[in-house]
């Protein structure tokens, strides 16, 4: 199963009731949740850092990033390790569901309600044939920004 220029593979996961996705090509691995070492004076959504086989990786909490109620991690909680040109970042989600191929025709650019193209962690929206749900596609660059 390969993706063509008309489609792309995504890792689908949930945070709260919402469904999100990141491209498989930007995903290095998925880890069971483990506590990150807190960084003093870091923004609330930066949960800390992990030592992953000798490499220190910042960890971003998506619940905190999206201003959702906190939740105690459980057996389904995962850390998705994203790779941005060799720079690794972990994002914490409630559950990883599956990998899917989404045709380009089912992907739309993020709607701009403000008229100013504001900076957001959402790069677009997508849907899967035969499913009424909306999948929010995350922007790796914006998501891993540690400011704000």
Q: What is the pLDDT of residues 10-59, one digit of tens each?
A: 999 999 999 999 999 999 999 999 999 999 999 989 999 999 999 999 99
Domain borders along the chain are 7-143
Question: In this predicted structure, what is the pLDDT of residue 147?
Answer: 42
Question: In this predicted structure, what is the pLDDT of residue 117?
Answer: 47
Question: In this predicted structure, what is the pLDDT of residue 143?
Answer: 67
Element (H, E) at 1: none
Question: In this predicted structure, what is the pLDDT of residue 133?
Answer: 82
Q: Give the pair of three-digit tokens for residue 107.
A: 């992907």
Per-residue pLDDT for 148 more than 50?
no
Residue 73, C-beta contacts closer than 8 angstroms, at least 6 positions apart: 33, 92
Tell me the CATH class for 7-143: mainly beta
Residue 121 CB neighbours (<10 A): 22
Distance CA 42, CA 56 (A): 15
pLDDT band at 129, cuts 50/70/90?
confident
Residues 88-118: pLDDT tens digits? Answer: 999 999 999 999 999 999 998 876 655 554 4
Distance CA 57, CA 67 (A): 22
């Amino acid at each position: 199963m390969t993706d063509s220029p008309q489609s792309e593979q995504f890792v689908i996961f949930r945070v709260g009731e919402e469904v999100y996705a990141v491209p498989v090509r930007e995903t290095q691995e998925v880890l069971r949740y483990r506590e990150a070492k807190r960084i003093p004076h870091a923004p609330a959504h930066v949960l800390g850092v992990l030592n992953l086989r000798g490499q220190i990786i910042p960890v971003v909490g998506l619940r905190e990033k999206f201003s959702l109620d906190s939740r105690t991690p459980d057996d389904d909680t995962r850390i998705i390790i994203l790779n941005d040109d060799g720079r690794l970042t972990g994002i914490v989600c409630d559950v990883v569901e599956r990998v899917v191929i989404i045709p380009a025709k089912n992907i739309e650019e993020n709607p701009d309600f403000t008229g100013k193209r504001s900076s957001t962690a959402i790069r677009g929206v997508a849907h899967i044939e035969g499913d009424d749900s909306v999948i929010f596609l995350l922007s790796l660059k914006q998501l891993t920004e540690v400011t704000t």
